[in-house]
Chains A and B, each alone.
Chain A
């Protein structure tokens, strides 16, 4: 302490004891700050590690290896009768076109086993791409066109560096012979990487190169819509009733305690409840977004009620009094003033509740949304799965190629959650009000 400072604080404060005490206080404050800083650093580091591991594993899910082949759209294969009948065009053996093109590229390969291996370089789903091309443009028939075909998942993995070509052949999914073929294709510039649009437009598939998250995204969308339509109005009405209309007594206290308890119930329990009520009792369709949405609504309700009550309570009493003092009824005061003023807070809470629901897996396992579903759901009652369950399913699949799909899907889900939460933050900032 400087002399002047000492003078400023007066005589009693110069004693040894006080100076010591002050030093101790300052030390303690420094220690606390350091601990806080360390805690934040630790949290940030863990978060960074998590994100890094997901992104480093998952980014490759967004690109895909293709093999370029000169496909001849032989008329005798596609349209042997020359009638251009759409039904016939659809059912023609397009796989043969791919096989012919591969044979032409590698004329030396003979024998059934070798040929089968050769054909498996290209995804066995490549024929559907050709079918689409012909259906869109029948004039292709008879022509030869160079086409980028999706590679098989092993080729894709090799190309992305997930398969070590120097490993012992027996331990390697891509054998020496295939490496020779691939090297030739590579040398000819026929192996390319491109954006994997199929990842965002396809449903699930047993073939990793074909599997996409569109089915799960649409399923999640329908499910969340149901959750929102059920839990938002019921939650907000409940909150208004409890805050603005119900008299405080033992019964409302009991309700309040139970709502708070419900918010802490493990989500799997809501799954069991959904199973009992919606499937076994109400006989709603299994694996359907409507049931998933209802189940998640049960789970989200307490969150929304609690957030909405807090938001309603934050509206100052003076507004209530102003409205009532003018002769507004309780209901008018609630709906004309309290509800609009608390809406930003309510919406923030709702978005947080819904983003929880969006990431929820356990309750949906109980109501059968964990089935393998290749079709993209077309409505609320179609069998569907949701994004987190899709992640769970892929994480459980043995093929190497599903590892990147898993991480890729996590990235997409995280993306949605970040967007939702950012929206909540914007809402809060924009409508924040000081009284």
Chain B
């Protein structure tokens, strides 16, 4: 398998980071629709990995395998091996609810709960019992908002509704909400596609800071964005991974014709 061989080379070059998620030969079916064909990809710790490719090629589907969100789709079936720190996340010992606490997710459209800003961030810690008392919870909420770079904008209206924020603020609130359950990995599915350029720049800046402590996998339709924020990039096409590599290398000297075509804007 050429892709895997290449992966191993890549891994050595990123030795200081180490692999946190390793997927092998993942197939996903929605009923009869075979959406992912034997995808193998390694994700490095504390790096930003971006998934690019034309729409409908299975980027979201792949992302949703990593925290088993596909389980919520009745018709969806996943085969293959997805290891998180060496443990098969579809194995019997893994509880998908706890997995999702460890692998947080930020969605395309900002989706804060129609509750207060505070309650949005506090919800995760509350259901997982992360705070022993009110002060603990306050602490978690404030640090999460701070990490998400939102604290200055909202500190004097923590108890007003989260849906009253602007789109970009809402998206950062969603990031804060995900951070509050102390994940190791954050999945982001086109987090900026509903935002204006200034809000997008803020979120990108945030992602860059977050990679110090978190592993981030981001789906994006913007190649510039992938180039700006990610260290590694995987190019998806028709349910397969065509090419994976260091972002810089993939964008400057792609080896596959299809990658070339996509990044030069000939299709997609």
Contacts and interface: CB of A to CB of B under 8 A. Distances in A.
Interface string A308-336: 00000000101111111111110010001
Nearest to B177: A326
B127 interface: yes
A341 interface: yes
A433 interface: yes
A324 B69 contact: yes
A81 to B, nearest CB: 75
Interface residues of A, number: 20
Interface stretch (B19-27, B104-112, B241-249): B104-112
A155 B177 CA distance: 77
A433 B111 contact: no
Interface in B86-114: 97-101, 104-105, 107, 109, 111-114
B106 to A, nearest CB: 8
A327 B127 contact: yes
Secondary structure of the B side of the interface? helix
A247 interface: yes
A325 B67 contact: yes
A124 to B, nearest CB: 64
A321 B74 contact: no
A325 B97 contact: no
Interface residues of B, number: 25
A250 interface: no
A332 B114 contact: no
Interface string B56-74: 0000000000010100101
Contacts of A325: 67, 69, 100, 104-105, 107, 178
B107 A322 contact: yes
Given A318-B109, A318-B111, A321-B69, A327 B128 contact: yes
B123 interface: yes
A326 B107 contact: no
A323 B86 CA distance: 27
B38 interface: no
A35 B228 CA distance: 62
Contacts of A429: none
B181 interface: yes
Contacts of A327: 97-101, 124, 127-128, 181
A318 B110 CA distance: 9
Contacts of B109: 318
B185 interface: no
Contacts of A341: 114
Interface of A: 247-248, 316, 318-329, 332, 336-337, 341, 433
18 contacts: A248-B74, A318-B107, A318-B109, A318-B111, A321-B107, A321-B111, A322-B107, A322-B174, A325-B69, A325-B100, A326-B127, A327-B99, A327-B101, A327-B181, A328-B97, A328-B123, A328-B127, A336-B123
Closest 6 interchain pairs by CB? Answer: A327-B101, A318-B111, A325-B105, A327-B100, A326-B124, A322-B111
